[in-house]
Structure 1
Amino acid sequence: MPVQVNIHEAKTRFSQLLARVLSGEEVIIAKAGKPVARLVPFQQPPALRHPGSAKGKIVMAPDFEAPLPETILQEFER
């Protein structure tokens, strides 16, 4: 459950609130009892993907599209 503090208390105890956020808690900052902001731990955005970056690193077997052996096909039909 997040902790809710008013703006004045948040200004006074900002370092303590940041320590709580770093430990995984969520802190809601309120003005006149109404939530106006939320402090949460910062998360790095995922790395950008670069199409084609694995080119030449993946090899397909020559028989990749060959039919499966009958024993394996039977396993799928159970």
Structure 2
Amino acid sequence: MRIYNMHDAKTNLSRLIEETVNGGEPFVIAKSGKPLVKVVRIDMETEKPRRRIGFMKGQLKVPADFDTMGAEEIREMFEGKAT
């Protein structure tokens, strides 16, 4: 992706926008080397974020006693060891 500093972008903005509208790739405007904005065509399809829910389905097994695991140790931390 092309990156232009603020001065170059101001000087050539019409040309840069025209190139992007006519099938060119989006471009970034930066200030002091730090990217500030990305200029893209409004009707340009954006990449959809990848779905992450359920990506490890079938790879993990949750023990039946998961919600009580370590309960005795936790109780001892709060109450002290039973004698």
- TM-score of the aligned structures, taking structure 2 as reference length: 0.48
Aligned to 2:8: 9
Contact 1:24 1:41 in 2 (8 A): no
- Report the secondary structure of 2:7's partner residue: helix
* Runs (4+) off by over 3 Å: none
Superposed CA offset, 1:27-62 (max 9, x none): 100000110000000129xxxxxxxxxxxxxxxxxx
Q: Gaps spanning 5+ residues in structure 2: where?
A: 45-83
Superposed CA offset, 1:6-29 (max 9, x none): 011100000111012112311100
C-alpha separation in 1, matches of 2:34 and 2:13: 19
Aligned to 2:29: 29
Higher helix share: 2
What letter matches 2:33 in structure 1? G
Percentage of matched positions with identical amino acids: 37
Give me the CA root mean square deviation. Answer: 1.5
